């Protein structure tokens, strides 16, 4: 008996459903999820798929591939919408709109856990006590704003432990970027005033701050406190400079996200501008994966629900297109924010101009991306032709090692595909093998590849995801390729093409030789675009590995042996260093001398002594 598929199968499911709200999943013959959808009325929604005609090409193809379905009923449509978004994020179905970049955005934190609040960049959960301002579009936007705030308001950005250990002002005080509260150059009340002004600035109240500073300067000048008046004058000039370089700031919009969508040739770009305190805090573009011929309102709603899944929505969201269900979306976002969130599609005025500007940016960004993608596709096809690959690779993994005489050894992996370098897929591997001889590149490569592919085999043994590479590029010649081939054979992964990239006899850039298992080495002509492409891949892997190695080496250089001892915190470390002068002197100290240090008990002295003397 032939198993039913497509609309005939769906008709059988419809008979078992009622009018409850819920979520449905459509699966193919292998059990992979094709689509996740939510419904106010499951029976009515699913019955639409049971009709043999009247569907778009995308929906018809999805129905034909459907071999089974799964259903979950919920109490309300809101619950169904939330469950749908969780499943889409977890399962990444082929026919759903999918936001591929959902990392958090940085904020500015005015930390309030100290008498003299610190101002700093913050990303992630808002668990630290203080006031958060954001989101900012990028770390660069935060850093620029922090630099401006330091120039105008002279707030500290050092950690609490550094603050407590200072005995004289740091360089930031000398260049007029900090008021040096660590050494008493400003009173608690005066510093609190600076913090208030900085927060007013972040709330967009810059005119009031400028007026207040001007009044203070006049009073200081009248009282013949010319040094203080000059300092206030410098702050006013810095604030004026900040205002002059900021982006176009809306007067009638104090807190909003501007979201514009442009769809062309089956690809989409969503441009978001962040407005907080009547200031534009940067913009970001996103390229959600489309399942097919979705309508703009379907794409916009799917994107918004996924985007705000881990980010607090602002008071207003201004859109270029409407939503499938605007009231439901607004209710869900309001619940997440704990206050009312307005979702608007403005038709006139300043808000309409803001959306129009964002839409123009979305259109231009998508045009640039499509142009770059076309060039990248041509290079990948050239790569396939040059190296006899069965098809242009969609995921290239490039490996390199870095070390100095075997010390601080790391392995690096970079990833590239049809859209260029995929930097959120880069990985670093701290070489852990104790049996590896220092400087043994083959041993390091074996450890890196073994860890990489054993994890892939564990997480995706059936190769259902895009995490498996189509091509491996190795920095090295015939020896490295032979070694990698042996490693992959031991892992049971023998169907992934690999290429070794070796410098020519003169080790000149442009005279690379390419090595493949069982084939003679060959070279590409000097002006071949594919050669330049491979060089870029190899150089990027080298840059990544070198950078990772340097960071590890710097960390080891800065490491203090006292940090390895449990129970030695900042205060005890300061006391030990102040008493003995250096960590080396602490390591040579006797028990009696260790006990003489303030804050070091007999038990702690014994622990320190044992740490340095009982290692044999």
How far is it, in rounded angstroms, from Cα 360 to Cα 358?
Answer: 5
Query: For 232-241, which contacts have Cβ atoms below 8 Å and span 24 or more sequence positions?
Result: 234/176, 235/151, 235/152, 235/153, 235/154, 236/210, 238/148, 238/151, 238/152, 239/152, 239/201, 239/206, 239/209, 239/210, 239/213, 240/210
Query: pLDDT digit string (tens) for 553-608?
Result: 666 555 567 777 878 887 888 888 888 877 778 888 888 889 888 889 988 998 88
Q: What is the mean pLDDT of residues 402-418?
A: 76
The total number of structural domains in the chain stands at: 5
Comparing 516 with 407, which gets the higher pLDDT?
A: 516
Is 90 exceeded by the pLDDT of residue 393?
yes
Is 69 in contact with 10 (CB distance < 8 Å)? yes
How far is it, in rounded angstroms, from Cα 47 to Cα 42?
Answer: 8
How many other CB atoms sit within 10 Å of the CB of residue 447? 22
Query: pLDDT digit string (tens) for 252-273?
Result: 888 899 999 999 888 899 999 9
Predicted local confidence at residue 520, as pLDDT: 87
Comparing 477 with 37, which gets the higher pLDDT?
A: 37
| Helix (H/G/I), strand (E/B), else coil: 36 | strand
How far is it, in rounded angstroms, from Cα 280 to Cα 254?
Answer: 10
| Helix (H/G/I), strand (E/B), else coil: 316 | strand
Query: In the numeric block, which tokens belong to residue 559?
Result: 């490491």
Beta strands in 491-552 (DSSP E): 498-502, 513-515
How far is it, in rounded angstroms, from Cα 57 to Cα 63?
Answer: 10
Is 90 exceeded by the pLDDT of residue 318?
yes
Domain assignment of residue 101, yes or no: no
Is 60 exceeded by the pLDDT of residue 1?
no
Domain assignment of residue 200, yes or no: yes
C-alpha dihedral sign at 82, 269, 100, 128: negative
Mean pLDDT across the chain, nearest whole number?
84
The answer on 124 and 87 residing in a single domain is no
Query: pLDDT digit string (tens) for 268-294?
Result: 999 999 988 778 888 889 999 887 667
The answer on 477 and 599 residing in a single domain is no
Domain assignment of residue 98, yes or no: no
Domain assignment of residue 431, yes or no: yes
The angle, 0 to 180 degrees and rounded to 10, between the axes of the packed helices 326-337 and 296-307 is: 10
How many other CB atoms sit within 10 Å of the CB of residue 520? 7
CATH number at residue 81: 3.40.1440.10
The angle, 0 to 180 degrees and rounded to 10, between the axes of the packed helices 349-386 and 529-558 is: 110
How many other CB atoms sit within 10 Å of the CB of residue 256? 21
Domain assignment of residue 118, yes or no: yes
Q: Which of 144, 145, 147, 116 is nearest to 133 (CA)?
A: 145
Query: In the numeric block, which tokens belong to residue 70?
Result: 């799964």
How far is it, in rounded angstroms, from Cα 89 to Cα 66?
Answer: 20
Predicted local confidence at residue 243, as pLDDT: 53
Predicted local confidence at residue 416, as pLDDT: 92
Query: pLDDT digit string (tens) for 325-357?
Result: 899 999 999 988 889 999 999 999 999 999 999
Domain assignment of residue 451, yes or no: yes
567 backbone dihedrals φ, ψ, rounded to 5°: 95, -5
Q: What is the mean pLDDT of residues 212-223?
A: 79
Lowest mean pLDDT among 236-245, 325-334, 472-481, 489-498: 236-245
How far is it, in rounded angstroms, from Cα 202 to Cα 119?
Answer: 12
The answer on 583 and 517 residing in a single domain is no
Predicted local confidence at residue 616, as pLDDT: 41
The answer on 50 and 194 residing in a single domain is no
Distance of CA 600 to the CA centre of its chain: 43
How many other CB atoms sit within 10 Å of the CB of residue 293? 12
Query: In the numeric block, which tokens belong to residue 510?
Result: 């442009």
| Helix (H/G/I), strand (E/B), else coil: 1 | coil
Lowest mean pLDDT among 2-11, 116-125, 282-291, 375-384: 2-11
Domain assignment of residue 387, yes or no: no
Is 50 exceeded by the pLDDT of residue 428?
yes
The answer on 425 and 547 residing in a single domain is yes
How far is it, in rounded angstroms, from Cα 543 to Cα 338?
Answer: 45
The answer on 111 and 227 residing in a single domain is yes
The answer on 138 and 76 residing in a single domain is no
The answer on 116 and 78 residing in a single domain is no
**By residue range, what is the domain housing residue 77?**
6-91
- Which residue is it, tokens 């005939």? 8
How many other CB atoms sit within 10 Å of the CB of residue 20? 16
pTM of the model: 0.69
Predicted local confidence at residue 292, as pLDDT: 67
**Domain boundary, last residue among 347, 367, 387:** 367
**Domain boundary, last residue among 188, 216, 245:** 245
CATH number at residue 516: 3.30.420.340
Query: In the numeric block, which tokens belong to residue 118?
Result: 């610190």
509 backbone dihedrals φ, ψ, rounded to 5°: -65, 125
How many other CB atoms sit within 10 Å of the CB of residue 455? 12
The answer on 530 and 508 residing in a single domain is yes
Is 60 exceeded by the pLDDT of residue 517?
yes
Domain assignment of residue 383, yes or no: no
Is 50 exceeded by the pLDDT of residue 297?
yes
How far is it, in rounded angstroms, from Cα 472 to Cα 602?
Answer: 57
Is 105 in contact with 134 (CB distance < 8 Å)? yes
Is 60 exceeded by the pLDDT of residue 245?
no
Is 258 in contact with 248 (CB distance < 8 Å)? no
Q: What percent of the chain has pLDDT over 90?
A: 26
Comparing 384 with 546, which gets the higher pLDDT?
A: 384
How many other CB atoms sit within 10 Å of the CB of residue 590? 11
Q: What percent of the chain has pLDDT over 70?
A: 90
How far is it, in rounded angstroms, from Cα 437 to Cα 227?
Answer: 64
**Three-state helix/strand/coil letters over 130-192:** EEEECCCCCHHHHHHHHHHHHHHHCCCCCCHHHHHHCCCCCHHHHCCCCCCHHHCCCCHHHHH
The answer on 569 and 516 residing in a single domain is no
CA Rg value for the chain: 30
Is 582 in contact with 562 (CB distance < 8 Å)? no
Terminal C-alpha separation, the chain: 74
Is 60 exceeded by the pLDDT of residue 247?
no
Predicted local confidence at residue 239, as pLDDT: 65
Query: pLDDT digit string (tens) for 66-85?
Result: 999 999 999 899 899 989 98
Distance of CA 159 to the CA centre of its chain: 24
Query: In the numeric block, which tokens belong to residue 417?
Result: 């595909």
Predicted local confidence at residue 469, as pLDDT: 92
The answer on 498 and 453 residing in a single domain is yes
The answer on 540 and 570 residing in a single domain is no
Query: pLDDT digit string (tens) for 13-58?
Result: 999 999 999 999 999 988 889 999 999 999 999 999 998 888 888 8
Is 70 exceeded by the pLDDT of residue 435?
no
CATH number at residue 568: 1.10.150.20
How far is it, in rounded angstroms, from Cα 259 to Cα 283?
Answer: 10
Fill in the DSSP letter of residue 496.
Answer: S
Q: What is the mean pLDDT of residues 379-399?
A: 91
């Amino acid at each position: 008996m032939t198993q039913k598929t497509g609309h005939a199968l769906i008709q059988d499911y419809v008979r078992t459903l009622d009018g409850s709200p819920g979520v449905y999943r459509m699966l193919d013959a292998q059990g992979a999820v094709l689509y996740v959808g939510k419904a106010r009325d499951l029976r009515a929604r699913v019955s639409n798929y049971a009709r043999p005609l009247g569907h778009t090409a995308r929906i018809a193809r999805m129905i034909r591939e459907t071999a089974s379905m799964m259903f979950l009923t919920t109490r309300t449509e809101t619950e169904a919408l939330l469950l749908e978004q969780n499943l889409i994020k977890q399962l990444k179905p082929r026919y759903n709109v999918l936001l591929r970049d959902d990392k958090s955005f940085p904020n500015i934190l005015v930390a309030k856990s100290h008498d003299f609040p610190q101002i700093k960049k913050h990303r992630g959960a808002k668990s630290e006590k203080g006031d958060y301002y954001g989101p900012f579009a990028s770390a660069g936007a935060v850093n620029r704003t922090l630099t401006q705030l330091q120039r105008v308001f002279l707030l500290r950005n050092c950690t609490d432990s550094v603050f407590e250990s200072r005995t004289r002002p740091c360089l930031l005080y000398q260049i007029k970027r900090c008021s040096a509260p660590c050494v008493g150059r400003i009173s608690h009340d005066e510093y609190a005033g600076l913090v208030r002004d900085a927060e007013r600035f972040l709330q967009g109240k810059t005119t009031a701050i400028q007026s207040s500073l001007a009044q203070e300067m006049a009073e200081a000048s009248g009282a013949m406190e010319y040094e203080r008046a000059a300092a206030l004058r410098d702050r006013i000039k810095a604030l004026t400079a900040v205002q002059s370089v900021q982006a176009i700031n809306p007067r009638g919009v104090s807190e909003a996200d501007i979201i514009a969508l442009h769809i062309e040739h089956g690809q989409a770009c969503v441009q978001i501008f962040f407005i907080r305190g009547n200031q534009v805090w940067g913009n970001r573009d996103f390229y959600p994966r489309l399942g097919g011929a979705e309508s703009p309102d379907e794409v916009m709603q799917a994107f918004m629900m996924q985007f705000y899944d881990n980010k607090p929505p602002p008071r207003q969201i201004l859109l270029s297109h409407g939503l499938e269900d605007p009231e439901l979306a607004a209710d869900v976002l309001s619940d997440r924010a704990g206050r009312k969130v307005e979702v608007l599609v403005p038709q006139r005025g300043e808000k309409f101009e803001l959306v129009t500007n964002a839409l123009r940016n979305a259109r231009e960004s998508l045009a640039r991306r499509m142009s770059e993608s076309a060039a990248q596709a041509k290079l990948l096809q050239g790569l396939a032709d040059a190296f006899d690959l069965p098809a242009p690779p969609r995921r290239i993994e490039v490996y390199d090692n870095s070390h100095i005489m075997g010390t601080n050894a790391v392995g690096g992996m970079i990833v590239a595909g049809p859209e260029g370098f995929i930097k959120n897929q880069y990985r670093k591997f701290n070489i852990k093998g104790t049996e590896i001889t220092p400087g043994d590149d083959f041993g390091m490569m074996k450890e890196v590849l073994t860890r990489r592919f054993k994890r892939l085999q564990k997480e995706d043994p059936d190769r259902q995801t895009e995490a498996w590479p189509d091509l491996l590029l190795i920095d090295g010649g015939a020896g490295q390729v032979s070694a990698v081939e042996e490693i992959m054979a031991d892992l049971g992964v023998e169907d992934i093409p690999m290429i070794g990239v070796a410098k020519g006899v003169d080790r000149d850039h442009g005279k690379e030789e390419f090595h493949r298992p069982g084939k003679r080495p060959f070279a590409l002509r000097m002006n071949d675009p594919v050669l330049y492409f491979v060089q870029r891949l190899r150089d990027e892997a080298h840059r990544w590995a070198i950078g990772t190695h340097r960071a590890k080496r710097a960390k080891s250089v800065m490491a203090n042996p006292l940090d390895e001892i449990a129970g030695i915190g900042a205060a005890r470390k300061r006391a030990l260093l102040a008493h003995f002068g250096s960590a080396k002197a602490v390591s040579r100290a006797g028990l009696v001398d260790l006990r003489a240090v303030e804050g070091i008990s007999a038990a702690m002295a014994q622990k320190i002594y044992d740490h340095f003397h009982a290692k044999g």
